[in-house]
Amino acid sequence: MTIHHILRSALFGSTALLAGASGVLAAEVNIYTSREPALVQPLLDAFTAETGVKVNTVFLKDGLAERVAAEGASSPADILMAVDVGNMADLVDKNLTQPIESKAVLDAVPATLRDPGNQWVALSMRARVVYAAKDLDLDAITYEDLADPKWKGKLCIRSGQHPYNTGLFAAYLAHHGVDATETWLTGLKANLARKPGGGDRDGAKDILGGICDIAVANSYYVGLMRSGKGGDEQRAWGDAIKVILPTFENGGTHVNISGAAVAKHAPNKEEAVKLLEFLVSDEAQKIYGEANFEYPVTAGAELSPVVASFGPLNIDTLPLTDVVKNRKEASALAEKVGFDN
């Protein structure tokens, strides 16, 4: 079965098993991913061209951890990929990963962007930024400032229970504690121009429509909108905004990740580590940025022009694992203040 057929069957919901399990084929590596395969395919093609190692991919939109757990020791999965640090931590919590034994990988990825026990590493980043109307007199802002009454009726954001926002709220909680976070969330709610909802791109749409002046959203959507991949309408949304990289008053800009881990029972562990080493190389990180408008995790990788236009990114030094620990409480606080009501 070719990689093309595997990708096509996975994308259309097939649960076909991967060929070549248990290391029968030495020069291959099997990826289970909850991320759309098309987003990483250019990287996988480049890896195969450079190493000759065949890459098989199965797309699991939901239930990645459950699938690997059910397969147990006979699982053909070598690499597990997911978006969101919470999903990576979940794989570790369920004992589905093993330490990444590669100096090249660990040297390339900062400690704040990987598991403390090296069970997973980040492959790319997205920042939680502020979209602002182009004509708005605003060049800098802190996350704390978003609750300032001067923004009353001017702020748009998606549901407070969406992982993108519970991550930000959890980071705020780690920085400031429970009481201050509840006060901040209450202030955010008071500043809303509309009920939280939609997606991040709707923030740009509503800025163009005059509903709000600023919106909280992820950085990579700007490139997706301005590139025209979503059509002319979305291009207009992207062109109507400027991007501001907020920081915490005592920290940097909040980021989330896409990440990867070596599966606990990986039949092709050597090839899996080799793939991870490639994915954190400057070459692969540049491809990531160009294809998906994301931030690289390595210092030497080139940014896409759209992302570079946002200005220097000062990443918050709070370990992502601390964000994960606070998510449940952050979600409860958002519920307590009636954020989505």
Sign for the CA dihedral angle at 228, 230, 236, 242 comes to negative
8 Å CB contact between 142 and 249:
yes
Q: Round the CA-based radius of gyration of the chain to a whole number and report it.
A: 20
Q: What is the pLDDT of residue 24?
A: 44
Give the side-chain half-sphere CA count within 13 A for 189.
18
Amino acid at 70: A
**Segments making up each domain of the chain, as ranges:** 3-125+255-304, 126-253+313-336
Predicted TM-score (pTM) of the model is 0.87
What's the pLDDT at 118? 97
Rounded Cα gap, residues 121 and 113, in angstroms = 6
Look at residue 16 and tell me whether its pLDDT is greater than 50: no
pLDDT range class, residue 19, cuts 50, 70, 90: very low
Please give the CATH architecture assigned to the domain spanning 3-125+255-304: 3-Layer(aba) Sandwich (3.40)
Residue 7 pLDDT more than 60? no
pLDDT tens, residue by residue, 234-287? 999 999 999 999 999 989 999 999 999 999 999 999 999 999 999 999 989 998
pLDDT of 3: 38
Looking at domain 126-253+313-336, what is its CATH homologous superfamily? Answer: Periplasmic binding protein-like II (3.40.190.10)
Instruction: Quick: pLDDT tens for 199-229.
Output: 999 999 999 999 999 999 999 999 999 999 8
For residue 124, give the nearest of 259, 253, 14, 244 by alpha carbon.
259
Terminus-to-terminus CA distance in the chain, angstroms?
50
Per CATH, 3-125+255-304 and 126-253+313-336 having the same topology is answered yes
Reading phi first (left if > 0) and then psi (alpha if -120 to 50, else beta), residue 210 is in left
| Confidence check: pLDDT of 296 > 90 | yes
155: enclosing H helix or E strand: strand 155-156
What pLDDT is stored for residue 21 in this prediction? 39
Instruction: Output the pLDDT for position 107.
Output: 96
Whether the predicted pLDDT of 44 surpasses 70: yes
